[in-house]
Amino acid sequence: MRIGIVGAGAVGSFFGALLHRADHQVVFLARGKHLEAMRKNGLIVKREEGTFTLYSTFTDDPKNLANAELILFCVKSNDTENMAKQLLPILSKDTKVITLQNGIDNEERLGEIFGFQRIFSCATYVQTAIEEPGVVNQQGRVALVIGELDHSAREKCSEIVTCFNQAGIDATYTGNIFEKKWRKLLWNITFNPLSAISTATVGDILDNKPLRTTAESVCKEAMEVAIKVGIPIDTDQTMSTIFKNAERARIHQTSMLQDRMSGKQMEVESVCGYVMRKAQELEISVPTIQATYSILTYLNKHQSLRPNQELAK
């Protein structure tokens, strides 16, 4: 298949590399030092089972994705509209677009621009980071849960799942992607904002009693909102699963923390902002989420307050 990776950062570079290794024709849209390094030395992928390097088309020009049959949409959610509008006049009407982004609101924003029948959504379970320009590091398990927004596109969705499976990626189909994305969001809202504010890893949050208590408060508030929007949740069991899964990501710096450390805009709106606005609509009080939202919005505006220019080791 001809595949375009839109936003070949940590997630896009990793999945693009696996698809390229499975003989798909993959074009990576990237920019800055990461693009420069990939053009010079190839893309280096480090995994527990070994390191490999691949050479492909690395570009900063969206026009090079014109003949893609499938786009993996992997920019940060702050860049969603801008990127989608650049792609719209370039892509064919049949090109499928799958978002691997965190949060739930990208799907709607993409659907409004491209049309809902060709947008597919994915709950992305992976821990990846750009270790240095040109080098992506992946740890732990890899799993994708994929679904369509418009049920008439179910068959096309199965083709995407098969494409990932053939590349050795554990991808499964769900008929209710919205619920899966909500469950993923519950994990992200519990750990990402707090890690970005405190600069703590997931393991640090688990081990530090006050931080853990705050994470539990965020989780409880977000679950209340999820239940009100119709997600079937057993709160005790869900909370216990979220914290059990976190044990497997102990050394992980959440994507939001990685952004803060490198002075990038954090995905505050699609994680905290989205849940906060839903809570307001539903008249649910979410004071802890509100607090994390206000701090992170401030930090996003005042980049000079970032703790470090470099990713923390």
Ligand X SMILES: CC(C)(CO)C(=O)C(=O)O
Ligand Y SMILES: NC(=O)C1=CN([C@@H]2O[C@H](COP(=O)(O)OP(=O)(O)OC[C@H]3O[C@@H](n4cnc5c(N)ncnc54)[C@H](OP(=O)(O)O)[C@@H]3O)[C@@H](O)[C@H]2O)C=CC1
99 binds, among ligand Y, ligand X, none (CB under 5 to 8 A by kind): none
Among 20, 24, 34, 180, binds ligand Y (CB under 6 A): 34
Residues in the chain, how many? 313
What is the phi/psi pair of residue 101, to 5°? -75, 155
Q: Helices 287-301 & 274-281, crossing angle to 10 degrees?
A: 140
DSSP 312: P
What is the phi/psi pair of residue 69, to 5°? -90, -25
31 binds, among ligand X, ligand Y, none (CB under 5 to 8 A by kind): ligand Y
Residue with the closest Cβ to ligand X? Answer: 255
Residue 209 or 301 having the CB closest to ligand Y:
301
Residue 31 or 151 having the CB closest to ligand Y:
31
Indicate the SS3 state at residue 49: coil
Residue 213 or 303 having the CB closest to ligand Y:
303
Binding segment toward ligand Y, per CB under 6 A, in 20-28, 89-97, 126-134, 154-162: 126-134
CB-CB contact of 133 with 36 (8 Å): yes
In angstroms, what is the minimal distance from the CB of 27 to ligand Y? 12
Which parts of this chain interact with ligand X (CB under 6 A)? Answer: 102, 125-127, 188, 192, 249, 252, 254-255
Among 17, 65, 83, 286, binds ligand Y (CB under 6 A): 83
HSE of 22, CA atoms in CB hemisphere, 13 A: 16
Rounded to 5°, angle at Cα 27 from 23 and 30:
140
Residue 95 or 190 having the CB closest to ligand X:
190
| Contact positions with ligand Y (CB under 6 A) in 128-187 | 128, 130
Q: Is the dihedral of CA 99, 104, 109, 113 positive or negative?
A: positive
Return d(Cα 109, Cα 184) in angstroms, integer.
Answer: 19
Among 56, 95, 101, 292, binds ligand Y (CB under 6 A): 101
Beta bridge partners of 138: 128
249 binds, among ligand X, ligand Y, none (CB under 5 to 8 A by kind): ligand X
Return d(Cα 122, Cα 172) in angstroms, integer.
Answer: 10
Query: Would you tell me which residues interact with ligand Y (CB under 6 A)?
Result: 7, 9-12, 29-32, 34, 60, 74-77, 79, 83, 100-102, 124, 126-128, 130, 255, 264, 267
